[in-house]
A and B are shown apart, each in its own frame.
Chain A
Amino acid sequence: MSSTKDPKTKNAVSRRGFLGGMGIGTGAVGAGLLEREAIASPAAATVAGPGAAPITLNINGKPVSLTAEPSVTLLDALRNHLDYTGAKKVCDRGTCGACTVMMAGKSVYACSVLAIDAQGKPIETIEGLPVDNPISTAFVNHDAQQCGYCTPGMVMATKGFLAEHPNPTLEDVKNGMGGNLCRCGTYMGIRQAVLEAAKNMKGAKNG
């Protein structure tokens, strides 16, 4: 069982993938490679940075502009440069899932995507869901949260998971939700909440 949070997901672009693609970063991907790429590709990619660059993101169906260095992650762009704070910064390196958002229909760790690289892809944050959406409501019904800091990420991970597994078994839920961590210990409630959300979303196109 693979969730869309699998780091190998084709559509999601990781920080490392971005650095490799741009030819910046480690010595292994040297300047020579960048040159060859430039020669091979007549329509050379626009080089942004190192200073702040204008970035336009499509968030919850609306274009949003900001100015940030190319090294700024989607998470920092959402939280610091804009004001979408449902996604939380916890591990900041793709382990805990507290920053989960949807990008181009897949759930991704916003801490592991560069904002500049998220341009042109529809991004959905938890703020894009109604307060009483079926997933959040199922979390409330099953008391699947305590301090609540992991919860928005859990909700968005559920959305991504259910998009691929609309009829999950309990075993599916245990596997598919494994990319998000909770410290208060709410997993028992989350298992039931995800199952209930799946049931209530039948026929509903979107969470």
Chain B
Amino acid sequence: MANTPDYSWPPMADRKIIGKSFKRLDGQAKASGRAKYTSDLKMKDMLYAAYVLCPHGHARVTSIDTSAAEKVKGVQAVHVIAPAGTEVQWHGKEIAAVAATTEEIAREAIRMVKVDYEVMPHFVNEQDLGKAGSRGKAAGEKVTGDPEKAFQEAEAVSDGVYGIPVITHSCLEPHGCVIQWQGDQVMAWPSTQFVTGWANTLAPNLKVPAANIKVKMDYIGGGFGSKFSPGAWAEVGAILSQKAGGRPVKIYLDRVAEQTIAGNRPSAFGKIKIAGKKDGTITAWQSDTWASGGFAGGGQPPLPYVYNNIPNTRLNHTSISVNAGPSQAWRAPNNQQASFLTCSAIEDFAAKAGCDPMDVFNKNAGYTPRAEQYQYQLAKAAELSEWKKLWKPRDQRTGTMRRGLGIGVNAWAGNGHGCTARLTINSDGSVVLEMGTQDLGTGTRTIMTQVAAETLGLQMGQVKLVIGDNSLPPGGSSGGSTTVGGVSAATRKAGVNALGKLYEAAAPALGVQPEELEAVDGQIRVKSNHAKNMTWVAACKKIGPAGKISETGVNETRNPMGLFSGGAAGVQVADVSVDIETGLVKINRFVAVQDCGLVINPKLAESQVIGAIIMGISTALYEERIMDNATGRMMNPDLEFYKLAGIKDIGDIVVHMDIREVNDKRGVIGLGEPPAIGICAAVGNAVANAIGKRVPYMPMTPMHVLNALEGRNA
């Protein structure tokens, strides 16, 4: 066929499999404990690795002696990562590692490693910009319009301080892998969000060709942006394996290391002023912000967020270096911070102007890239949260338990990553779909299978899916909400391409041209005369001597062909009650109105949105990395004092998926990120509305709430 085949999605009304809430395909394997994560693997002669970590915030290794550890019975390899003279910039930095026949022996052996440190000065808390000194790097002022004049002419000006702390990914399955290095061959079973690219990142560090590194992974126990690269541990594991004569080594971080060094979301703090009119119209924005993502600094939120066309703005930002574990991408990098800073300031402006914040968000929607969309969503969120009935101005709340409502907004690009699917139709009618991708628990397995089945006119059970292996056609990294767009487009193309070949094989038997055929309900039939048909199996029997058709479908990021897009918007409303005597914040209800495109599986899509909200509620109420100024150490590298929300803490969650034909036409849009963005914003605003005062710092713990009520600065 000379022409480009028609890859477009079938019209909504014609879909048989896409758009249906199939149960996730790996659900039973996971829920019965049979699914083997790489951290579950146990193989012959496998060794267990353990780390010596730096106990100081900043230090130089002056000597290291591993001789005692080497003598421990069962220790098979010892590797010094930070030899004498190495300057170490954060608590938890890897110093040495051992591999032993049991985990117990490995843990005992690391206690026998003697390390002497010269402790050096550290700086670990960036909340106070004034203390940052030389650790801060200013980004340079950005001015648009005439903010000076706008502030002078303003009828109302809000002026607030806001802060969102560093939080840690806290993946339940820690970072790590099982890895075996024999000669110039490496076999790895990592926990990763990027099966295809993992080897390519590791190869230069080991000086082994990427082609010689085989990677396999069936399941991953959480990543959230922190598990793209192999991390230092894969290299260390490989070296230990080589030193131990090529035995496989299991190297997973223990919980302390996982919380300390395996990833975190940068903080963001800001002094923000908004100017405007008494009717709620915003005319100017001024922000002085600072943030840290660890020793390398980093973390600049895009401000003002969503409302980014405010005509008069003045922006300053300082990136601060602290002696603490490095940040990793976190479900919409910098957007959560930006949404929190922006929506908090808008809410405070609304209070200053004496307006209902719902009206202010609505009235200023012209500053957003999609005014109509946000206005539609604000109205929907107001309806679902009973805003008109439940919202009251800040000073009209009385009693001990005070209820409040608050708004958060989101926007995310999405789109589809580059990837390749291969679809094989065998002459016995069986079908295999392959890609070197991964299912993070987002439902990638299920939606890929749905797309293939829909395209071929088959049932779900007739398509076998193989993923999780870097010898398969390349998958993309599962980040940026780009997976669903990428894999669904590539699968659709592979399916259409393979079907074209099948039509060529089957057409002569039906006495028509291949172009006249379609695949529906397990049949290959003539479009204009459905009575002229053959079963799927009969058609596959016509496949030539090769015995199979195997076609690929390539998704090109820049050529979506209408199959996917980005730019999802969303509005969320938190409804909380605050006990002003104890400072406890309780979520009553959380409403999310989420823009989406073509939804392949509504149940899984809704799970994504609900999951993002629950994670967000956890960050809004409990999560904070606490650094100790005296020792430079992380104080809560565990799950007792680094708190995660439990089943009782999340209130009720109401999700409105905006599934409409107008959105369906935009193609597939990823949902991992957008709904995760605005939760801190909404909860913070709801608390401010409830108690009549801004609680400047996340999370909304009793301490922070009571400090605000008492007028104390934390």
Contact = CB atoms under 8 A, between A and B. Distances in A.
Contacts, number: 180
Contact of B31 (A81, A88, A148, A177): A148
Interface string A120-161: 000001110111110011011101111111111001000000
Nearest to B103: A80
B440 interface: yes
B28 A137 contact: yes
- B contact patch SS: loop
Interface stretch (A20-28, A34-42, A188-196): A188-196
Interface in B216-237: 219-224
A183 B607 contact: no
Contacts of A92: 254-255
Contacts of B648: 174-175, 178
A149 B32 CA distance: 11
Given A145-B441, A184-B222, A136 B647 contact: no
Interface stretch (B80-88, B168-176, B316-324, B578-586): B168-176
B292 interface: no
B15 interface: no
- A contact patch SS: loop
B638 interface: yes
A104 B14 CA distance: 55
Q: Most chain-A CB neighbours within 10 Å: which of B24, B30, B36, B255?
A: B30
B653 interface: yes
B462 to A, nearest CB: 20
Contacts of B171: 183
A146 B28 CA distance: 12
Contacts of A187: 614, 645-647, 650
A57 B701 CA distance: 44
A100 to B, nearest CB: 11
A147 B653 contact: no
B603 interface: yes
Contacts of B564: none
How many of chain B's residues touch chain A, expressed as a range?
Answer: 35 or more
A33 interface: no
Nearest to B254: A92
Contacts of B35: 148
Interface string B347-367: 000000000000000000000
Given A69-B104, A86-B33, A140 B610 contact: no
A110 interface: no
A111 to B, nearest CB: 10
B36 A131 contact: no
Interface string B604-618: 100100111111001
Contacts of A145: 24, 27, 30-31, 441
Nearest to A147: B441
Contacts of B645: 187
A87 B32 CA distance: 11
Contacts of B26: 148
Nearest to B615: A185
A143 B607 CA distance: 7
Q: Most chain-A CB neighbours within 10 Å: which of B29, B32, B171, B254?
A: B32
B609 to A, nearest CB: 9
Interface in B401-455: 440-442
The 7 closest A-B pairs by CB, nearest first: A86-B33, A185-B614, A149-B221, A148-B30, A146-B441, A185-B611, A126-B33
